[in-house]
Amino acid sequence: MTFLAQDPTLADFGRDPWWLVLGKVVFAFAFGLVATLLGVWFERRVVGFMQVRPGPNQVGPFGLLQTLADGLKMAFKEDILPKAADKVVYFFAPVISVVCAVTALSVIPFGPMVSIFGHRTPLQVTDVPVAVLLVLACSSMAVYGVVLAGWASGSTYPLLGGLRSGAQLISYEIALGLSVVAVFMTAGTMSTSGIVAEQGAGTQLSVFGTEIPAPGWYAILLFPSFVIFFISIVGETNRAPFDLPEAESELVAGFMTEYSSLKFALIMLSEYVAMVTMSAFTVTLFLGGWRAPWPITIWEGANSGWWPLLWFFGKVVALVFVFVWLRGTLPRMRYDQFMRLGWKVLLPINLVWLLVLGGLRSIEDWDTRSKLIAVGIPAGILLLATLFWPSRRPEPKPTVQEQVDNRPQGSFPLPPMDLQVPPSPRTRRVVAEREPANIAAAPDSQEV
Amino acid sequence: MTTSTLLAAAGEVSGGEEVTFWILAPLALLGAIGMIAARNAVHSALWLVLTMLCLGVFYVLQAGPFIGMVQIIVYTGAIMMLFLFVLMLVGRDASDSLIETLRGQRVAAIVLGLGFAGLVGGGLWRGLQGSAAVGLEQANAEGNVQGIARLLFTKYVLAFELTSALLITAAVGAMVLAHIERRKEDRMDQIATMKARFAPGNYPGPKPGPGVFATSSSVATPARLPDGRLTDRGTSDILPVRELTAQETSLKGTDK
């Protein structure tokens, strides 16, 4: 395979002239902003489609400029500073959120080595040996934005929302960090470009004479980690069904209740940038990064030049769609259910999976017979344990009639089982007499 | 933050490293001073966060990217966050009072603090003067993370495990002290609660509010059931139920 030479290594970073570094930084920042503008529009259109209504379609073609109009409107609104607010912290909290969300984009690989004005350079702002930890550090610092926004507002609902959200983010960060460990174990590196390169090296399957590369995506190889990781990032970005920090039915709007105008716009911006950043992070860690999926790789040049940008953006948009899909489908979880899911389900499953993965990796170079023994004995014990585990036989469930008969004396009265409510004699059946409409039907072209 | 900076050879200080140091060192000091000087406890914690962040970047600069990131994730992201939690639950208006309980305490603290810092700084400066750091190249030969992992899981594995056992003991101890475990049979799920609600002898409707059908709007007034009996189900457990005297039930003369 010739295109493997396109993979940047750590040594390829830090050699750019200053204008190239500046250009890359501006590109990553602009990517975050544009993704927010389009992301809000995308979300509203998709949710609208799922709820059988048009969504924003008036401003600009397909309503594309709706978010821009909303942003302008927000900028001209009055900036309200609550009397009890801690002024400095109140101002800095949304800034912290935005900075953390955007900074994480700097280690996301957008593409392979390309040539820009004669310079061979990777399409990535920078890469460090601990790039994945950098993203985790950014997301752990983003908690400050939320908690401080809640505290500095100086009122009750924001404080409760902020604290609740802080607890949520910290809990899900643990599950997030643990699911990334499996990727480290398999890839053997923490640099994002290295992880993308490792996912490209899949084995070849030969089916009817055609070479089909077996997917090296960690989403398939490390499926449990992928599922836990995705659940965790939904919790980490405060998206439905885990949008408890701003649960409007119980906390008004949570930590952002007191925010208005541009500061509110900043909070909203940081949420959407975080969603896009986390999608890009998932694509990098589990979905092969900028590498094209199988049918496209038949074409030799799919993984070189500027084409990988397209595959990368396609994967990110697909993941953002999943975020929106979740929001359009699932109701919000209750807080205790949510915490139980994080601590009592995701965390233990993750630990057991890491143990299994570590075991599998340590027997990798054994011969087949020892391998079979090493896998077979624990599997057999597990099978026997599940077979002979003492199970309590459930008692036969009494029928409704039996339950009603067994009620003790003096119970609250129940209506008879075969109760039929007769129509009230006071209601009269009213039938509306309507004249036939004879207006010529106009073409219903304009949707409002 | 390039690879060459990360793996900087000991002894040489690159230009970027120097610039970063001179920007961040004053910030770190400012954070330390701010932490002491801030009146509000939450502001204090935030100043400390600034210092910790600067320290994290210093570690990265000193060719220890892993420890730098861990400093930010664990100390700044988790431990300081828990501190903030406690401070916020205490209340946002809790600031230190500036009244000295011991006379001369503040002057003594400043003098002793400066003296201690001078002693430590002077000792370190004299001890390290003229000595060149060696061994960084070898330590980072196969990568920083791999080097730390090799040391942690071979040479220092016992100390590492002991530390984690200590931390887990502390966490479990705190949980045992603070956690109230309800017995399994005492726990009622939703079905059991519903059955108990409709059990004979229990009135399934909502509890009467305080003062319902009563002669006073005080929360201490027992409610009257629709059939005229008094009930104490509407009042809080800590309030004794009593009949009001005629003087208490009469109008206070405040309303026209």
Distance from CA of A133 to the nearest CA of B (A): 6
Find the residue in A nearest to B199 (Cα).
A411
Sign of CA dihedral B72, A135, A100, A86: negative
Separation between Cα atoms, residue A444 and residue A442, nearest integer Å:
6
CB contact under 8 A, A133 and B5: no
Number of other residues whose CB lies within 10 A of the CB of residue A31 = 20
Q: Where in chain A are the domains?
A: 3-15+79-363
Nearest to A157 by CA among A84, A265, A262: A84
Q: pLDDT averaged over chain A? A: 82
Separation between Cα atoms, residue A366 and residue A376, nearest integer Å:
14
Q: Is the pLDDT of residue A118 over 80?
A: no
As a whole number, mean pLDDT of residues A401-427 equals 78
For A104-113, A344-353, A433-442, which range has the lowest pLDDT when averaged over its residues?
Answer: A433-442
Instruction: Kindly report, residue by residue over A64-88, the tens digit of the pLDDT.
Output: 888 889 888 988 888 888 888 888 8
**With contact defined as beta carbons under 8 Å apart, do A243 and A236 qualify?**
no
Find the residue in B nearest to A411 (Cα).
B200
Residue scoring higher pLDDT (A54 or A368): A54
Helix (H) or strand (E) holding A205: strand A204-207
Separation between Cα atoms, residue A373 and residue A365, nearest integer Å:
14
Distance from CA of B210 to the nearest CA of A (A): 24
Q: Which residues of A touch B78 (CB under 8 A)?
A: 140, 170, 173
What local confidence, expressed as pLDDT, does residue A95 receive? 92
What local confidence, expressed as pLDDT, does residue B121 receive? 93
Tens-level pLDDT at each residue, chain B (256 residues): 444 444 444 445 677 788 888 899 999 999 999 988 888 888 888 899 999 999 998 888 888 888 888 888 888 888 888 888 877 777 655 555 666 677 888 889 889 999 999 999 999 998 888 777 777 777 777 778 888 888 888 889 999 999 999 999 998 998 888 877 777 777 788 888 888 888 877 777 776 665 555 566 666 667 777 677 777 776 677 766 666 777 777 777 765 5
Residue scoring higher pLDDT (A429 or A396): A396
CB contact under 8 A, B88 and A159: yes
For A183-187, A412-416, B70-74, which range has the lowest pLDDT when averaged over its residues?
Answer: A412-416
For A266-270, A396-400, B66-70, which range has the lowest pLDDT when averaged over its residues?
Answer: A396-400
For A15-29, A419-433, B44-58, which range has the lowest pLDDT when averaged over its residues?
Answer: A419-433
**With contact defined as beta carbons under 8 Å apart, do A109 and A289 qualify?**
yes
CB contact under 8 A, B73 and A136: yes
Confirm or reject contact between B65 and chain A (CB < 8 A). yes
For A385-399, A426-440, B73-87, B102-116, which range has the lowest pLDDT when averaged over its residues?
Answer: A426-440
Separation between Cα atoms, residue A283 and residue A368, nearest integer Å:
34
As a whole number, mean pLDDT of residues A376-402 equals 84
Write down the ipTM of this complex. 0.73
What local confidence, expressed as pLDDT, does residue B4 receive? 44
